[in-house]
Amino acid sequence: MNLEEQVVHSITDERYRQNEKWGMQRHDYGTWLTILVEEVGEVAQAMQAQKGWGKDSDKDDLYEELIHVAAVAAAIAEQVLEENQN
Ligand SMILES: [Mg+2]
């Protein structure tokens, strides 16, 4: 697999993991935005961790946190598609 395929594969795996954990999520956009921004915050934590900043409880796996952001964005996009079909 090339890099693009690896990343898309990771996002797809994360989408299935989210669905197993939470079921199919449907939220108002304000709620989605809080979920997405929380994940973006974890990306910032992981970037800070690479600099030796932050707290021990902070997220530290930058790749994983970026995949979370992409997967949440994908879940929102799925809802947008669904709404546009109705
Ligand atoms: Mg996360």
- 56 phi and psi, to 5 degrees? -60, -30
Distance from residue 83's CA to the centre of ligand 1 (Å): 26
| Alpha-carbon gap, residue 65 to 39, rounded angstroms | 7
Neighbours of ion ligand 1 (CB under 5 A): 39, 42, 65, 68
The helix/strand count (H/E) of the chain reads as 3, 0
Token pair, residue 81, equals 């598609």
Q: How many domains does the chain have?
A: 1
Closest CA to 24 of 62, 75, 77: 75
pTM above the 0.85 mark?
yes
CA 37, distance to chain mean position in Å, is 9
Distance from residue 86's CA to the centre of ligand 1 (Å): 31
Give the confidence band of 86 by pLDDT, cuts at 50, 70, 90.
Answer: confident
Rg (CA), the chain: 14
- Domain of residue 75 covers 3-85
pLDDT in tens, 34-55: 999 999 999 999 999 999 998 9
